[in-house]
Structure 1
Amino acid sequence: MSATPALQVEGLTVRYGATLAVDALDLQIAPGETVALLGANGAGKSSTLNAALGLFRPTAGRVLLHGRAPADAIQAGGVGAMLQHGGLPSETRVGEVIGLVRRRYDSPWPLADLVVTAGIGGLLDRAVDALSGGQRQRVLLALALAGAPPLLLLDEPTSAMDVEGRQAFWTTMRDLAGRGHTVVFATHHLDEADAVADRVVVVAGGRVVADGTAGSIKSRIAGRTVRFRCPGPREDLPGLPGVTGVGGSGELVELTTSDVEATLRALLTDRPTLPDLEVRGASLEQAFLHLTTQPDTTQPDTTTGALR
């Protein structure tokens, strides 16, 4: 594996007038990794990706893509991108747009394989203006892949796709990762990050507040969740051993506990059965909300070992 990072961000600072969008952010991504950027609206995800693509000059810091400045990496065909608000030229056909972009590269992705990989079979003769939202995203993916780039930067790539389209898209991403491509994507779909990413980077206030596997980030939330169906009284639940919170809706009860064994023993003392019982660790969504709603969220806790 190359020693040169696929993406290296050093002290990146981005301001829009008086607004600090990215605050001295540092990030390093190795070749072949699939990395999810998570953060609330305004956290700095899109600004970081846009700076990596050289779409504006940052206030401070630098970004290198495979050791090159953004403009040089893009000129060499080393980067493919899908932007959140990417567009396609109107009054054209898909095949015409694909052909135009492929001609820009000395060694473009072979057309037949590109069509299969991007999932645009049957669309080459389709008018761009007649594409559905999901189809447009697949065509934008084909354009991003046209130069066979080793690095892909994707900003909310599945935002216009239905569930089936999202599943097909991430099947494609796993295949690309298997071929050695580096995939960096910003998303609001935490389930995608949990299922697809080798590594999750949580951004808040323009800074990295957590960086590691989805499992390591979820482990930062202490305790577990016990769920079961409880049609009867539940006044005693808050006082059970280990219980730190009681939630749920209808007959479904959800207990947050710091000692799952003690909680279950106490429950079974008075209840011979616990219908539909589930015991779960913290979800990525719970960890994300915990990390991004803390008052000191922009001050990384370097003692966790999950931050970079």
Structure 2
Amino acid sequence: MESTSAPLAQLAGVGKRYGATRALDGLDLALHPGQVTSLLGANGAGKSTAVGLLLGLLVPDAGHVRVFGEAPRTPAVRRRCGVMLQSAGIPERLCVGEMLALVRAGYPAPRSVADCVALAGLDGLLDRRYGALSGGQQRRVQFALAVCGRPRLLCLDEPTTGLDLDARQRLWAAVRELVADGSAVLLTTHYLEEAEALSDRVAVLAEGRLAAEGGIDAIRARVAVRRIRCVSSLPADTVARWLGVQAATRDGDALRILAEPAEPVVRSLLQHDPALRELEIQRAGLADAFLALTRPAPAEAA
């Protein structure tokens, strides 16, 4: 979904170094209301640095950062932002209800406790000490603290790490509800299926630079490859040598193939194995595009 509204937050030509290490190099990124933007990249690509700059935790060496048209370090800006980082630093002796009351007090019009409990799935946890909770329960508490102030800009850094499937889907539903209300969400995640499920836009970082940006379909289109799966007795190493096949591997009885164009490969499969069955063809997913955009060039890999 493309947005024509003005961005709520923007990085413009931003550069950031840590000594001799270049973390970001001329990064341009805009976050629009009513959209989830996923910031993807390998470890060390600059994702956490970009989040830190948006939150005013870091200062750029070049370019500028604007959140709601202002510098991100001002109290007025921070009262309109919510954040869920990978490390929370929450006092373990406090009860969940105490922490929620403390954080809610910092906002002019916070969500009710009942709304926070419902959004984050905190039923039965308010009277428990934070340090006594499981890792997944702690992440749900952190999400509640991030959204309790009705943020217009929400930064979620690996939010579903440690969550089971039910809790993860519940958090996804909460994010969709916030976006429907007009919030802008910046998501960093290593779960590419999560980015594919939630994102309106995707920005892929590679070595501090923007390798690609756009909607999910536009990012997928950067990879001209399709996935073929079938049950076949054909040797994978034989199929791997066919024209158009990029890779062929065996998974038990199943043969998995990456190919483009796919049609000649499918015809060859049917011709060489009349007993072939359970044939499936899928377009490239976000994971395929991510790997193609962030994979080092052959000389670099060597």
Same fold (TM over 0.5): yes
Partner of residue 42, structure 2 = 40
In 2, distance between residues paired with 1:85 and 1:76?
Answer: 19
Residue number among 116, 135, 138 corresponding to 1:133 in the alignment: 135
Structure 2: gaps spanning 5 or more residues: none
Relative to structure 1, the CA distance from residue 137 to residue 233 in structure 2 (aligned partners, 3 Å threshold; closer, same or farther) is closer
Q: Residue 135 of structure 1: CA displacement?
A: 1.0
In 2, distance between residues paired with 1:10 and 1:194?
Answer: 25
Q: Residue 176 of structure 1: CA displacement?
A: 1.4
In 2, distance between residues paired with 1:198 and 1:64?
Answer: 21
In 1, distance between residues paired with 2:72 and 2:35?
Answer: 19
Deviations 1:263-307 (Å, cap 9, x if unpaired)?
Answer: 2222222322422211111121121111111439xxxxxxxxxxx
Partner of residue 212, structure 1 = 214
Query: Aligned AA for 1:106?
Result: P
In 1, distance between residues paired with 2:31 and 2:22?
Answer: 24
Residues 115 and 121 in structure 1, CA contact (< 8 A), matched pair in contact too: yes
Query: Aligned AA for 1:65?
Result: V
Query: Aligned AA for 2:285?
Result: S
In 1, distance between residues paired with 2:77 and 2:29?
Answer: 23
Residues 54 and 72 in structure 2, CA contact (< 8 A), matched pair in contact too: yes
Query: Aligned AA for 2:137?
Result: Q
Query: Aligned AA for 2:163?
Result: M
In 2, distance between residues paired with 1:114 and 1:6?
Answer: 24
Structure 1: gaps spanning 5 or more residues: 297-308
Residues 34 and 184 in structure 1, CA contact (< 8 A), matched pair in contact too: yes
Residue number among 154, 172, 175 corresponding to 1:173 in the alignment: 175
Relative to structure 1, the CA distance from residue 87 to residue 230 in structure 2 (aligned partners, 3 Å threshold; closer, same or farther) is same
253-262 vs 129-138, which moves further: 253-262
Deviations 1:8-41 (Å, cap 9, x if unpaired)?
Answer: 1011111111111111111112111111110001
TM-score by length of 1: 0.90
Partner of residue 121, structure 2 = 119
Partner of residue 289, structure 2 = 287
User: Counterparts in 2 of 1:122-271, with a 5 A limit?
Assistant: 122-233=124-235, 236-271=238-273
262-271 vs 57-66, which moves further: 262-271
Relative to structure 1, the CA distance from residue 73 to residue 151 in structure 2 (aligned partners, 3 Å threshold; closer, same or farther) is farther
User: Counterparts in 2 of 1:19-34, with a 5 A limit?
Assistant: 19-34=21-36
Partner of residue 276, structure 1 = 278
Residues 66 and 73 in structure 1, CA contact (< 8 A), matched pair in contact too: no
In 2, distance between residues paired with 1:109 and 1:57?
Answer: 31
Residues 119 and 171 in structure 2, CA contact (< 8 A), matched pair in contact too: no
Q: Residue 239 of structure 1: CA displacement?
A: 4.8
In 2, distance between residues paired with 1:185 and 1:291?
Answer: 19
In 2, distance between residues paired with 1:101 and 1:19?
Answer: 35
Query: Aligned AA for 2:60?
Result: P
Query: Aligned AA for 2:110?
Result: P
Q: Residue 200 of structure 1: CA displacement?
A: 0.9
In 1, distance between residues paired with 2:297 and 2:96?
Answer: 48
Relative to structure 1, the CA distance from residue 92 to residue 253 in structure 2 (aligned partners, 3 Å threshold; closer, same or farther) is same
Relative to structure 1, the CA distance from residue 257 to residue 127 in structure 2 (aligned partners, 3 Å threshold; closer, same or farther) is same
Residues 21 and 43 in structure 1, CA contact (< 8 A), matched pair in contact too: yes
User: Counterparts in 2 of 1:20-99, with a 5 A limit?
Assistant: 20-72=22-74, 75=77, 77-99=79-101
270-279 vs 165-174, which moves further: 270-279
In 2, distance between residues paired with 1:197 and 1:132?
Answer: 28
In 1, distance between residues paired with 2:237 and 2:20?
Answer: 51
User: Could you tell me the percent identity over the aligned residues?
Assistant: 43
Q: Residue 245 of structure 1: CA displacement?
A: 2.9
TM-score by length of 2: 0.91
Query: Aligned AA for 1:134?
Result: G
Partner of residue 15, structure 2 = 13
Q: Residue 251 of structure 1: CA displacement?
A: 2.5
In 2, distance between residues paired with 1:7 and 1:104?
Answer: 21
Relative to structure 1, the CA distance from residue 207 to residue 236 in structure 2 (aligned partners, 3 Å threshold; closer, same or farther) is closer
Relative to structure 1, the CA distance from residue 123 to residue 285 in structure 2 (aligned partners, 3 Å threshold; closer, same or farther) is same
Q: Residue 120 of structure 1: CA displacement?
A: 1.1
Q: Residue 118 of structure 1: CA displacement?
A: 1.8
Q: Residue 3 of structure 1: CA displacement?
A: 4.0
